[in-house]
Amino acid sequence: MVSPCALLTKGHDAWDASGVAVSGNMTNVAVAYAPRPTDEEPTLLTMTFVAPCPGVLVAAVRGELDLASAPELDTKVRAELHRHRPRSLVLDLSGLEFLGVHGTAVFERLRRRCAVSEIRLSLVAVPPAGERALRFAGLLTRFDRHPDLGAALAAAGHVTDRAR
């Protein structure tokens, strides 16, 4: 099955003063958030946002989602939801290395916010440790989950096609 959406695959190498890297065109926009790397401080979490087709926003999360990084994820996702106003939000967790209790709380807040705004929220490629954390918090069954990004985009495209 071919996904109804095409992802922007260009890398990001230009950073502005706020630590935001941007590339894209009028159809596909990708925004990456990560602090500028330094020798003293490793980057714990990076987020890349892509609007691969109308009504769909994909947020790829990489690294560790814990007490230190959870507030940043919450803030950045809320800003991108406000900017794009999608009908479907896909969180690609294939690069997630650690999910702490504060990260699960962010996911639950996002789920509630999306439900109120009638935005479909899907989790993609939740790593085993992430599944355990979400199950322990009693949240795992509250999310639509997909094994890969293609399946999530196909489901999101189907939903956005029906909404038209």
Question: Could you write out the DSSP letters of every residue in 46-74?
Answer: EEEEEEEETTEEEEEEEEEESTTTHHHHH
Q: What is the pLDDT of residues 76-134, one digit of tens each?
A: 999 999 999 999 999 999 999 999 999 999 999 999 999 999 999 999 999 998 999 99
pTM of the model: 0.73
> Rounded distance, CA 80 to CA 57, Å?
8
Stated as kind and residue range, the H or E segment containing 153 is: helix 149-163
> Rounded distance, CA 108 to CA 110, Å?
5
Q: What is the pLDDT of residues 125-140, one digit of tens each?
A: 999 989 999 999 999 9
Topology of the domain covering 44-156:
Transcription Regulator spoIIAA (3.30.750)
Residue 20 has pLDDT above 70, yes or no: no
* Structure tokens given for 91: 């969180």
Mean pLDDT of the chain: 78
**Residue of higher predicted confidence among 77 and 32:** 77
Say if residues 77 and 107 touch (Cβ distance below 8 Å): no
> Measured between alpha carbons, how far is residue 143 from residues 18, 122, 123, 136, 149 in Å?
32, 6, 7, 14, 15
Q: Position of tokens 């992430």?
A: 130
Q: How confident is the model at residue 156 (pLDDT cuts 50, 70, 90)?
A: confident
> Rounded distance, CA 128 to CA 124, Å?
12
5-9, 33-37, 109-113, 157-161: segment of lowest average pLDDT? 5-9
Task: Classify the phi-psi angles of 74: left when phi > 0, otherwise alpha if psi is within -120 to 50, otherwise beta.
Answer: alpha
